[in-house]
Amino acid sequence: MIDLHTHILPGVDDGVGDVEEALLVANEAENQGVTKLVATPHYVGEGFQLTPGETKKRVKDLQQVFKQEGLGIEVLPGAEVYITPDLGKKLENGLVSTINDSRYLLVEFPMEKRPSYINEVFYDLKVMGYTPIISHPERYGYIRKNPNLLYNWIEDGIYAQLNAGSLLGKFGNRVKNTAETLVKYNLVQFIGSDLHSNQRRSQCLEEGFKRLRSLIGKRTERYMENAKRVINDHEIEFIEPQRYRSSEGSIKNFFANGLKKVFG
Protein backbone atom coordinates (compact mmCIF):
# COMPACT_ATOMS: atom_id res chain seq x y z
CA MET A 1 0.00 0.00 0.00
CA ILE A 2 1.06 3.57 -0.69
CA ASP A 3 -0.01 6.26 1.76
CA LEU A 4 -0.36 9.56 -0.12
CA HIS A 5 -1.08 11.75 2.90
CA THR A 6 1.06 11.64 6.06
CA HIS A 7 2.62 14.04 8.54
CA ILE A 8 5.63 11.82 9.15
CA LEU A 9 8.41 14.44 9.04
CA PRO A 10 9.50 15.14 12.63
CA GLY A 11 9.01 18.58 14.14
CA VAL A 12 7.78 20.49 11.10
CA ASP A 13 4.02 20.80 11.74
CA ASP A 14 1.32 19.33 14.01
CA GLY A 15 2.33 15.78 13.11
CA VAL A 16 5.16 13.57 14.36
CA GLY A 17 7.17 15.34 17.04
CA ASP A 18 10.62 13.75 16.80
CA VAL A 19 12.64 11.00 15.12
CA GLU A 20 11.85 8.44 17.81
CA GLU A 21 8.13 8.96 17.26
CA ALA A 22 8.62 8.81 13.49
CA LEU A 23 10.25 5.39 13.91
CA LEU A 24 7.29 4.12 15.93
CA VAL A 25 4.80 5.45 13.38
CA ALA A 26 6.73 4.02 10.42
CA ASN A 27 7.07 0.64 12.13
CA GLU A 28 3.30 0.49 12.65
CA ALA A 29 2.70 1.51 9.03
CA GLU A 30 5.04 -1.20 7.79
CA ASN A 31 3.32 -3.78 10.00
CA GLN A 32 0.04 -2.85 8.29
CA GLY A 33 1.51 -3.42 4.84
CA VAL A 34 2.36 0.15 3.85
CA THR A 35 5.44 0.22 1.60
CA LYS A 36 5.64 3.95 0.80
CA LEU A 37 4.76 7.05 2.80
CA VAL A 38 4.40 10.41 1.07
CA ALA A 39 5.47 13.09 3.55
CA THR A 40 2.94 15.89 3.18
CA PRO A 41 3.77 18.55 5.78
CA HIS A 42 1.36 21.46 6.00
CA TYR A 43 2.21 24.45 3.82
CA VAL A 44 0.19 27.41 5.09
CA GLY A 45 0.45 31.18 5.14
CA GLU A 46 2.30 31.40 8.45
CA GLY A 47 4.45 28.97 10.39
CA PHE A 48 4.63 25.94 8.10
CA GLN A 49 6.37 26.75 4.84
CA LEU A 50 8.97 24.13 3.95
CA THR A 51 10.39 24.66 0.48
CA PRO A 52 10.77 21.65 -1.84
CA GLY A 53 14.51 21.63 -1.16
CA GLU A 54 14.03 21.65 2.60
CA THR A 55 11.40 18.91 2.38
CA LYS A 56 13.65 16.67 0.28
CA LYS A 57 16.52 17.16 2.73
CA ARG A 58 14.34 16.15 5.67
CA VAL A 59 12.93 13.18 3.74
CA LYS A 60 16.45 12.02 2.88
CA ASP A 61 17.57 12.33 6.51
CA LEU A 62 14.53 10.42 7.78
CA GLN A 63 14.98 7.72 5.15
CA GLN A 64 18.55 7.23 6.34
CA VAL A 65 17.33 6.75 9.91
CA PHE A 66 14.75 4.20 8.77
CA LYS A 67 17.42 2.32 6.82
CA GLN A 68 19.75 2.24 9.82
CA GLU A 69 16.93 0.83 11.96
CA GLY A 70 16.14 -1.89 9.42
CA LEU A 71 12.83 -0.47 8.18
CA GLY A 72 12.07 -1.13 4.53
CA ILE A 73 9.44 1.58 4.18
CA GLU A 74 10.20 4.35 1.66
CA VAL A 75 9.50 8.04 2.28
CA LEU A 76 8.68 10.37 -0.62
CA PRO A 77 8.42 14.18 -0.63
CA GLY A 78 5.22 16.15 -0.90
CA ALA A 79 3.10 18.74 0.90
CA GLU A 80 -0.47 19.49 1.97
CA VAL A 81 -0.87 23.01 0.65
CA TYR A 82 -3.50 25.35 2.03
CA ILE A 83 -5.32 27.02 -0.85
CA THR A 84 -4.62 30.74 -1.37
CA PRO A 85 -5.34 33.07 -4.30
CA ASP A 86 -1.63 33.16 -5.20
CA LEU A 87 -1.01 29.39 -5.11
CA GLY A 88 -0.14 29.34 -8.80
CA LYS A 89 2.51 32.00 -8.29
CA LYS A 90 3.98 30.05 -5.37
CA LEU A 91 4.32 27.01 -7.61
CA GLU A 92 5.79 29.13 -10.39
CA ASN A 93 8.40 30.44 -7.94
CA GLY A 94 9.33 26.95 -6.77
CA LEU A 95 8.07 27.42 -3.21
CA VAL A 96 5.65 24.48 -2.98
CA SER A 97 6.20 20.71 -3.17
CA THR A 98 4.08 18.47 -5.35
CA ILE A 99 3.73 14.73 -4.65
CA ASN A 100 7.12 13.18 -5.46
CA ASP A 101 7.84 15.96 -7.98
CA SER A 102 4.82 14.93 -10.05
CA ARG A 103 2.05 17.03 -11.59
CA TYR A 104 -0.15 16.15 -8.59
CA LEU A 105 -0.60 18.64 -5.75
CA LEU A 106 -2.42 17.90 -2.49
CA VAL A 107 -4.58 20.94 -1.65
CA GLU A 108 -6.34 21.64 1.64
CA PHE A 109 -9.43 23.87 2.07
CA PRO A 110 -10.81 25.74 5.09
CA MET A 111 -13.09 23.48 7.12
CA GLU A 112 -16.28 25.54 7.21
CA LYS A 113 -16.12 28.57 4.89
CA ARG A 114 -15.66 27.90 1.18
CA PRO A 115 -13.24 30.36 -0.47
CA SER A 116 -14.71 32.25 -3.42
CA TYR A 117 -11.50 31.89 -5.45
CA ILE A 118 -11.24 28.07 -5.62
CA ASN A 119 -12.28 27.79 -9.27
CA GLU A 120 -9.87 30.52 -10.36
CA VAL A 121 -6.96 28.88 -8.53
CA PHE A 122 -7.78 25.47 -9.99
CA TYR A 123 -7.96 27.00 -13.47
CA ASP A 124 -4.51 28.54 -13.00
CA LEU A 125 -3.03 25.26 -11.79
CA LYS A 126 -4.49 23.27 -14.66
CA VAL A 127 -3.17 25.79 -17.21
CA MET A 128 0.27 25.44 -15.61
CA GLY A 129 0.11 21.66 -16.01
CA TYR A 130 -0.67 20.70 -12.41
CA THR A 131 -3.48 18.44 -11.21
CA PRO A 132 -4.91 19.38 -7.79
CA ILE A 133 -6.01 16.65 -5.40
CA ILE A 134 -8.40 17.92 -2.72
CA SER A 135 -7.49 16.49 0.68
CA HIS A 136 -10.24 14.93 2.85
CA PRO A 137 -13.26 16.64 1.18
CA GLU A 138 -15.63 14.70 3.45
CA ARG A 139 -14.47 16.86 6.38
CA TYR A 140 -15.48 20.21 4.84
CA GLY A 141 -18.86 21.45 6.05
CA TYR A 142 -19.94 22.87 2.68
CA ILE A 143 -19.22 19.59 0.89
CA ARG A 144 -21.14 17.66 3.52
CA LYS A 145 -24.08 19.97 2.81
CA ASN A 146 -23.67 19.82 -0.96
CA PRO A 147 -21.55 16.93 -2.33
CA ASN A 148 -22.19 18.22 -5.85
CA LEU A 149 -19.64 20.96 -5.23
CA LEU A 150 -17.12 18.12 -5.41
CA TYR A 151 -18.89 16.61 -8.43
CA ASN A 152 -18.38 19.84 -10.37
CA TRP A 153 -14.67 19.94 -9.54
CA ILE A 154 -14.16 16.28 -10.45
CA GLU A 155 -15.89 16.91 -13.77
CA ASP A 156 -13.34 19.67 -14.39
CA GLY A 157 -10.41 17.29 -13.93
CA ILE A 158 -9.73 17.84 -10.24
CA TYR A 159 -9.34 14.78 -7.98
CA ALA A 160 -9.96 14.09 -4.29
CA GLN A 161 -8.40 12.04 -1.49
CA LEU A 162 -10.46 10.45 1.26
CA ASN A 163 -9.18 9.96 4.81
CA ALA A 164 -9.26 6.31 5.86
CA GLY A 165 -10.23 7.42 9.36
CA SER A 166 -13.32 9.11 7.98
CA LEU A 167 -14.66 5.78 6.70
CA LEU A 168 -13.98 4.28 10.13
CA GLY A 169 -15.93 6.92 12.05
CA LYS A 170 -12.89 8.60 13.59
CA PHE A 171 -14.26 12.07 12.75
CA GLY A 172 -17.86 11.35 13.74
CA ASN A 173 -20.92 9.92 12.01
CA ARG A 174 -21.64 12.91 9.79
CA VAL A 175 -18.17 12.74 8.26
CA LYS A 176 -18.41 8.95 7.99
CA ASN A 177 -21.75 9.15 6.17
CA THR A 178 -20.36 11.78 3.79
CA ALA A 179 -17.28 9.63 3.14
CA GLU A 180 -19.47 6.66 2.21
CA THR A 181 -21.56 8.88 -0.08
CA LEU A 182 -18.47 10.19 -1.88
CA VAL A 183 -17.22 6.63 -2.41
CA LYS A 184 -20.60 5.47 -3.69
CA TYR A 185 -20.85 8.31 -6.23
CA ASN A 186 -17.21 8.02 -7.47
CA LEU A 187 -16.37 11.44 -6.06
CA VAL A 188 -13.02 10.38 -4.54
CA GLN A 189 -10.13 8.69 -6.34
CA PHE A 190 -7.60 8.16 -3.53
CA ILE A 191 -7.44 7.13 0.10
CA GLY A 192 -4.77 8.17 2.62
CA SER A 193 -4.26 7.96 6.36
CA ASP A 194 -3.53 11.64 7.16
CA LEU A 195 -1.54 10.15 10.04
CA HIS A 196 -0.12 12.52 12.65
CA SER A 197 1.12 10.08 15.32
CA ASN A 198 0.31 6.69 16.83
CA GLN A 199 -1.95 8.41 19.35
CA ARG A 200 -3.58 11.11 17.20
CA ARG A 201 -4.79 10.10 13.74
CA SER A 202 -2.77 6.92 13.70
CA GLN A 203 -2.04 4.78 10.67
CA CYS A 204 -5.30 3.07 9.65
CA LEU A 205 -4.92 2.53 5.91
CA GLU A 206 -5.27 -1.24 6.23
CA GLU A 207 -8.63 -0.90 8.01
CA GLY A 208 -9.67 1.80 5.56
CA PHE A 209 -9.11 -0.48 2.59
CA LYS A 210 -11.09 -3.25 4.30
CA ARG A 211 -13.99 -0.84 4.72
CA LEU A 212 -13.66 0.26 1.11
CA ARG A 213 -13.86 -3.35 -0.06
CA SER A 214 -17.04 -3.87 1.94
CA LEU A 215 -18.55 -0.86 0.14
CA ILE A 216 -17.34 -1.23 -3.46
CA GLY A 217 -15.65 -4.63 -3.78
CA LYS A 218 -13.10 -4.98 -6.58
CA ARG A 219 -13.26 -1.27 -7.42
CA THR A 220 -11.06 -0.83 -4.34
CA GLU A 221 -8.08 -2.00 -6.42
CA ARG A 222 -8.40 1.17 -8.47
CA TYR A 223 -7.52 3.23 -5.38
CA MET A 224 -4.31 1.25 -4.97
CA GLU A 225 -3.43 1.57 -8.63
CA ASN A 226 -4.12 5.31 -8.62
CA ALA A 227 -1.67 5.85 -5.77
CA LYS A 228 1.04 4.11 -7.81
CA ARG A 229 0.22 6.24 -10.81
CA VAL A 230 0.42 9.48 -8.84
CA ILE A 231 3.90 8.88 -7.41
CA ASN A 232 5.08 7.90 -10.91
CA ASP A 233 3.44 10.97 -12.49
CA HIS A 234 1.11 8.93 -14.69
CA GLU A 235 -2.54 9.53 -15.57
CA ILE A 236 -4.87 7.86 -13.09
CA GLU A 237 -7.64 5.38 -13.86
CA PHE A 238 -10.76 7.51 -13.75
CA ILE A 239 -14.33 6.40 -13.06
CA GLU A 240 -16.97 8.88 -14.19
CA PRO A 241 -18.46 10.60 -11.14
CA GLN A 242 -22.18 10.61 -10.50
CA ARG A 243 -24.20 13.61 -9.40
CA TYR A 244 -25.42 13.22 -5.84
CA ARG A 245 -29.18 12.97 -5.39
CA SER A 246 -30.51 13.12 -1.86
CA SER A 247 -33.50 10.87 -1.17
CA GLU A 248 -34.65 13.45 1.39
CA GLY A 249 -34.45 16.12 -1.27
CA SER A 250 -36.49 13.98 -3.65
CA ILE A 251 -39.23 13.55 -1.06
CA LYS A 252 -39.31 17.29 -0.41
CA ASN A 253 -39.54 17.99 -4.13
CA PHE A 254 -42.33 15.41 -4.49
CA PHE A 255 -44.45 17.10 -1.85
CA ALA A 256 -43.59 20.58 -3.10
CA ASN A 257 -44.66 19.71 -6.63
CA GLY A 258 -47.82 18.06 -5.30
CA LEU A 259 -48.76 21.20 -3.34
CA LYS A 260 -48.21 23.32 -6.42
CA LYS A 261 -50.65 21.16 -8.37
CA VAL A 262 -53.24 21.37 -5.60
CA PHE A 263 -52.96 25.05 -4.84
CA GLY A 264 -51.83 26.18 -8.29
Confidence of residue 201 (pLDDT cuts 50, 70, 90): confident
Give per-residue pLDDT as tens, 123-171.
999 999 999 999 999 999 999 999 999 999 999 999 999 999 999 999 9
- In order of 37, 67, 197, the CA distances from 205 in angstroms are 11, 22, 13
Q: How many helices (H) and strands (E) does the chain have?
A: 11, 9
Question: What is the side-by-side order of every strand in the sheet holding 36-39?
Answer: 2-6, 36-39, 74-77
Give strand pairing partners of 80: 42, 106
The H or E element that residue 10 is part of is none
Domain architecture of the chain: domains with CATH = 2-263 (3.20.20.140)
The pTM of this model reads 0.91
How far apart, in whole angstroms, are the C-alpha atoms of residue 87 and residue 85?
A: 6
Give per-residue pLDDT as tens, 103-116.
999 999 999 999 99
Provide the H-helix boundaries in 6-79: 19-31, 52-68
Which residues, 6+ apart, have CB-to-CB distance to 261 below 8 Å? none
